[in-house]
Structure formats: structure tokens, C-alpha cells
């Protein structure tokens, strides 16, 4: 499938077409790299804290707060090992992405690197697949908001808060990227502080035997209820699909690169920090939860965060966590609107999407792309109305296919970049991916395994039905786009 991806020789590059298009792309990227912002360019207004929180905000969502309940039932305490393995894989993916970003920091980076180091078809399919992934995920997040509002207003039709949330987030994404980054920073901070608060309170209860759970809470709960791996090795492997879904969004650092101040210094620090912080938050929260309450007593249909806070007896704790889960869903959808608008912008600038998506507003925001993505996310309300019991499983598994494709393309593109460096055609940067090329192929093998795991459950299997249809549609779309470009000369 990836034959011929590493790089093109000079003669092949000349025969590939559109020299004028390549020159135009190079000129545009040079302008972005130097930060000279015109009326038709994106604006570099994101700082290091914005970049990290956009990635964290897009990652910490209902996958952790709700999805972990089902995963715990499948793995027990062994789920901690699953998250650790997933974190290692994400570290390699992010380091591969980081090396590419420092070579050329542009918005919509995955599609751009795929086109350069694999081929135009890969850029087209990656850009549109990543866009599709976030649109589908956004549908899940806004309907989740509607469900959670029922805690306070049970008679309110859930499409109303879903619609209001989408409208507000749409407005946020139409203002300048600096304001967006600031809003997303505080959105993500709420989630981070909640998880840290749970970890600190949990450790205090365990160490000082305080509160209602003090007498039974202990780290020994991790191994005295069937062992640390109650389901053996299979228990570690089976939840990997939900684990990797929980890591969706870390690659948003690549989407935000084209709007980052001083990317050469900001991006390496952001990439190294964000994976480490996610591991501390995820592993710390899971270890504390299963130490406070034995994993066998957790309900697959209830958020473990809600259940533990209820047992701790914090006044208003359930309402607090409900509010946090709402902000988690809204934050993730917010990041989705941000990324889909930028991806359509990148595709349009390379001639692979309608030209209208390549324009920016007065605030240097790709408003047309954001608007189109928000409009399609409204389908989520209808899905929640027609199949409310299955919609979460369906959309999360479908979105995971898009992420798996994107992550594979990132590490394959990185291989192409390294070969171009070895051939002396590109300069070598100082931010190397460890273990390449062996780590690249290890990551690809792992991600293919995760895709195969989707076939084991009836709910997640739907993603494997949708994926061939989606890529067949993209293949037709690519041919149409290619012919249109050739016709324009």
C-alpha cells in the first residue's frame, strides 16, 4: 500500500507535475515560517501553554471520564499497563511528528508531509480522513453535553443544550486564534485540575485512612482482587482500542504548528511535556481510583470518577464532576472545530478541497472550513435521537480509524523525511525521533493490531464496515480532484 513512499529522485520529482503549484506552496510555507502574516494567511498567536493545552484539551474527554469504566471491566488494574503501552506509542508518534514540524511548521501538517514524502494521494486521504475523524468525534461530544445536562434539567430535550454548545463553540472558533487558545487553555485547565485534585485527595485518603473510604482504601486493592492482571495478557491487549481512543487529540500540536509563536523553541518543549503529563494524569487517576474502590465494584455504565467522588462523600461532588465532564466534552469539540477548519484550509491551499476553504476572515481564521464542519456536526443531534444507546460506541470507533490512519501516516512520512536527509536533499534537525527506523515500524505494527481489535466487538466492528466505504469515496474524490487540477493547468 505504501510502495514508493520514501522519497522521489530528482527526475521523478520533475515528472510529478505542477511545478508552479509546488513553488506556490513553498512560497506560502516560507511566509508562514518567517511569520509574515498577510490578509490571506493564518496568524501565529499561540504560545507554548496554548499549544500544550489545546492538545491536552482535545485528548482528555469522554474517553477517560466515561470510556475508562468499560475498559476497567475488561482489564482490571491491568488497564494501567494498557495506558502505559499506549503512552509509549504516542511518545514515538509525537517525536516523529516533532521532527517533521521543525523541518517545516505549517498548519494541516499531516496532509502536507504525507503529500511531500509519500505522494499526493496520501496527502489528500490523510487530510480528509483527519477532518472526518474530528467531525464524527464532535458529534459524540455535543450529544454528550446534552445527556449530562439532564443531571440538572431532566425534562430539557437534550438536543437543546447540544445545539447551544455547538453554537457557542462555533462563535469561539470564529474569533482570533489567540482568543481561541486562551479559552481552550482554561477549558483544559478545569479538567487537569480536577484529575490532579482527585489524585491528591485519593492519596490522602489512602495514606491517612480518612473519610468514608479510609478503612477499605489501600494500594493493595490493586492486586488482592484477582491479581493485578486478573484477565492475563489478553486483559491488557483487549482494551487497547479504548486506550488509544483516549489519546486521540495529542497530534493537535501538529495542526496548531502553523499558528504557533516561535515554533523552533515552542514545539520541542510542548511535545516532550504533553506526553509525560498525559501519562501522569491517566496513570495517576486510574491507580488512585482502583485503590480507593476495588475494580470489581466499579460499574461499566457509570463514570468511575462520579462513583468514587460519591463514595468519598464530598458535598456536591457528583454535580462538580458532571460539570467537569460537560467542559471535557465541550473542550474536545472545541478542539475538533479548530482542527477541522485548519485541515480544510490546508487542503484547499493545495488544491484538494474547494477554494472557499482556503480563505481566512479578518481575524485570520479559516471561517468557511469551521462553518462547514460545525454544520455537519449537527448530524450528531439526529444520531443521538435515533440510536441513543449505540451512538457513543459507533462514533468513537469510527473516529479511531481516522486517528490510526493519521498516526500511521505520520510515522511513514517521517521515514521518508529521514531518507531524504540521508540522501543529502534536506537538512537534519536537532529534534530526532529515538530508535528510527525500527521504532517507526514498531509503531505501525502496533496500530494495525489495534485496528484488528475493532473486529472483536459488535459495536466497534461498525468502524471496519465504514472504513472501506470512506476510503473508496476518497479514492474517487482524489481522482476527481486530480483531473480538475490538470484541467486548470
**What per-residue confidence (pLDDT) applies to 30?**
41
Q: Which residue has the higher pLDDT, 24 or 190?
A: 190
Rounded to the nearest 5°, which phi and psi values hold at 450? -60, -40
Average pLDDT over residues 353-368: 84
Task: Give, in order, the Cα–Cα distances in Å from 376 to each of 89, 139, 369.
Answer: 31, 8, 11
Q: pLDDT-based confidence at 51, cuts 50/70/90? A: low
Q: How far apart are CA 85 and CA 438, in angstroms?
A: 17
Average pLDDT over residues 388-415: 86
**What per-residue confidence (pLDDT) applies to 22?**
43
Mind listing the pLDDT tens digit for each residue in 99-154? 998 888 776 677 889 999 999 999 999 989 989 988 988 887 887 788 778 878 88
Q: Which residue has the higher pLDDT, 115 or 387?
A: 115
Task: Give, in order, the Cα–Cα distances in Å from 143 to each of 12, 329, 333, 447.
Answer: 48, 9, 10, 28
Q: Specify the range with the lowest mean pLDDT, choosing from 192-201, 234-243, 302-311.
A: 302-311
Mind listing the pLDDT tens digit for each residue in 266-310? 778 778 888 888 888 899 999 999 999 999 988 776 778 878 877
3-class secondary structure for the chain? CCCCCCCCCHHHHHHCCCHHHHHHHHHHHHHHHHCCCCCCCCCCCECHHHHHHHHHHHHCCHHHHCHHHHHHHHHHHHHHHHHHHHHHHHHHHHHHHHHHHHHCCCCCHHHHHHHHHCCHHHHHHHHHHHHHHHHHHHHHHHHHHHHHHCCCCCCCCCHHHHHHHHHHHHHHHHCCHHHHHHHHHHHHHHHHHHHHHHHHHHHHHHHHCCCCCCCCCCHHHHCCCCCCCCCHHHHHHCCHHHHHHHCCCCCHHHHHHHHECCHHHHHHHHHHHHHHHHHHHHHHHHHHHHHHCCHHHCCCCCCHHHHHHHHHCCCCHHHHHHHHHHHHHHHHHHHHHHHHHHHHHHHHHCCCCCHHHHCCCCCCCCHHHHHHHHHHHCHHHHHHHHCCCCHHHHHHHHHHHHHHHHHHHHHHHHHHHHHHHHCCCCCCCCCCCCCCCHHHHHHHHHHHHHHHHHHHCCCCCHHHHHHHHHHHHHHHHHHHHHHHHHHHC
Q: Which residue has the higher pLDDT, 161 or 364?
A: 161
Average pLDDT over residues 150-162: 83
Residue 465, pLDDT above cutoff 80: yes
pLDDT above 90 coverage of the chain, percent: 29
**What per-residue confidence (pLDDT) applies to 17?**
38
Q: What average pLDDT does the structure give for the chain? A: 80
| 334 Cβ neighbours under 8 A, 6+ residues apart | 57, 169, 172, 173, 180, 183, 184, 187
Task: Give me the domains of the chain, ranges plus CATH numbers.
Answer: 43-488 (1.20.1740.10)
Average pLDDT over residues 3-15: 37
**What per-residue confidence (pLDDT) applies to 19?**
37
pTM of the model: 0.82
Q: How far apart are CA 182 and CA 316, in angstroms?
A: 28
**What per-residue confidence (pLDDT) applies to 248?**
85
| 320 Cβ neighbours under 8 A, 6+ residues apart | 194, 309, 314
Judge whether 42 and 364 are in contact, CB under 8 Å.
Answer: yes
User: What cell numbers appear for 224 in the block?
Assistant: 488482592
**What per-residue confidence (pLDDT) applies to 77?**
95
Q: pLDDT-based confidence at 399, cuts 50/70/90? A: confident
**What per-residue confidence (pLDDT) applies to 404?**
94
Q: Specify the range with the lowest mean pLDDT, choosing from 17-31, 148-162, 173-187, 256-270.
A: 17-31
Q: How far apart are CA 75 and CA 295, in angstroms?
A: 9
Q: How far apart are CA 116 and CA 109, in angstroms?
A: 11
**What per-residue confidence (pLDDT) applies to 4?**
36
Q: Specify the range with the lowest mean pLDDT, choosing from 117-121, 151-155, 182-186, 394-398.
A: 182-186
**What per-residue confidence (pLDDT) applies to 482?**
87
**What per-residue confidence (pLDDT) applies to 23?**
36
Q: Specify the range with the lowest mean pLDDT, choosing from 53-57, 346-350, 374-378, 482-486.
A: 53-57
Q: How far apart are CA 410 and CA 382, in angstroms?
A: 33
Q: How far apart are CA 22 and CA 67, in angstroms?
A: 43
Amino acid at each position: 500500500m505504501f510502495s514508493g513512499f520514501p522519497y522521489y529522485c530528482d527526475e521523478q520529482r520533475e515528472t510529478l507535475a505542477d511545478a508552479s503549484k509546488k513553488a506556490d506552496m513553498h512560497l506560502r510555507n516560507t511566509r508562514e515560517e518567517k511569520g509574515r502574516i498577510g490578509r490571506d494567511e493564518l496568524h501565529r498567536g499561540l504560545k507554548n501553554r496554548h499549544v500544550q493545552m489545546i492538545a491536552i484539551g482535545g485528548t482528555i474527554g469522554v474517553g477517560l471520564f466515561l470510556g475508562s469504566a468499560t475498559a476497567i471491566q475488561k482489564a482490571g488494574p491491568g488497564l494501567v499497563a494498557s495506558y502505559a503501552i499506549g503512552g509509549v506509542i504516542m511518545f514515538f508518534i509525537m517525536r516523529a511528528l516533532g521532527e517533521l514540524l521543525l523541518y517545516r511548521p505549517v498548519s494541516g501538517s499531516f496532509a502536507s508531509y504525507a503529500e511531500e514524502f509519500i505522494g499526493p494521494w496520501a496527502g489528500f486521504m490523510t487530510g480528509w480522513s483527519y477532518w472526518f475523524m474530528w467531525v464524527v468525534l464532535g458529534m459524540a461530544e455535543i450529544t454528550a453535553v446534552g445527556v449530562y445536562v439532564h443531571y440538572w434539567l431532566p425534562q430539557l430535550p437534550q438536543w437543546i443544550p447540544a445545539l447551544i454548545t455547538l453554537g457557542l463553540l462555533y462563535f469561539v472558533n470564529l474569533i482570533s486564534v489567540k482568543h481561541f487558545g486562551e479559552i481552550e487553555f482554561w477549558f483544559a485547565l478545569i479538567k487537569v485540575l480536577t484529575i490532579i485534585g482527585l489524585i491528591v485527595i485519593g492519596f490522602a485518603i489512602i495514606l491517612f485512612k480518612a473519610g468514608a473510604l479510609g478503612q477499605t482504601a489501600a494500594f493493595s486493592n490493586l492486586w488482592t482482587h484477582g491479581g493485578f492482571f486478573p484477565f492475563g495478557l489478553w486483559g491488557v491487549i483487549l482494551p487497547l482500542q479504548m486506550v488509544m481512543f483516549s489519546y486521540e487529540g495529542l497530534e493537535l500540536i501538529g495542526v496548531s504548528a502553523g499558528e504557533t509563536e516561535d515554533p523552533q523553541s515552542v514545539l520541542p518543549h510542548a511535545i516532550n511535556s504533553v506526553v509525560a503529563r498525559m501519562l501522569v494524569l491517566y496513570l495517576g487517576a486510574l491507580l488512585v481510583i482502583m485503590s480507593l474502590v476495588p475494580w470489581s465494584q466499579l460499574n461499566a455504565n457509570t463514570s468511575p470518577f462520579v462513583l468514587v467522588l460519591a463514595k468519598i462523600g464530598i458535598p456536591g461532588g457528583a454535580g462538580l464532576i458532571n460539570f467537569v465532564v460537560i467542559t471535557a466534552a465541550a473542550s474536545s469539540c472545541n478542539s475538533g472545530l479548530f482542527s477541522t477548519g485548519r485541515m480544510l484550509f490546508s487542503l484547499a491551499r493545495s488544491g484538494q478541497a474547494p477554494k472557499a476553504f482556503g480563505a481566512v476572515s479578518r481575524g485570520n481564521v479559516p471561517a468557511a472550513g469551521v462553518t462547514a464542519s460545525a454544520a455537519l456536526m449537527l448530524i450528531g443531534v439526529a444520531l443521538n435521537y435515533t440510536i441513543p444507546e449505540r451512538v457513543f460506541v459507533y462514533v468513537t470507533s469510527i473516529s479511531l480509524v481516522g486517528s490510526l490512519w493519521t498516526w500511521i501516516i505520520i510515522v511513514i512520512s517521517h521515514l521518508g523525511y529521514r531518507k531524504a536527509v540521508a540522501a543529502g536533499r534536506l537538512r537534519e534537525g536537532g529534534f530526532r525521533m529515538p530508535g528510527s527506523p525500527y521504532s517507526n515500524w514498531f509503531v505501525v505494527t502496533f496500530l494495525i493490531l489495534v485496528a484488528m481489535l475493532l473486529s472483536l466487538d459488535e459495536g466497534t466492528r461498525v468502524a471496519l464496515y465504514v472504513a472501506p466505504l470512506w476510503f473508496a469515496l476518497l479514492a474517487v474524490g482524489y481522482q476527481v480532484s486530480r483531473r480538475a487540477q490538470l484541467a486548470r493547468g
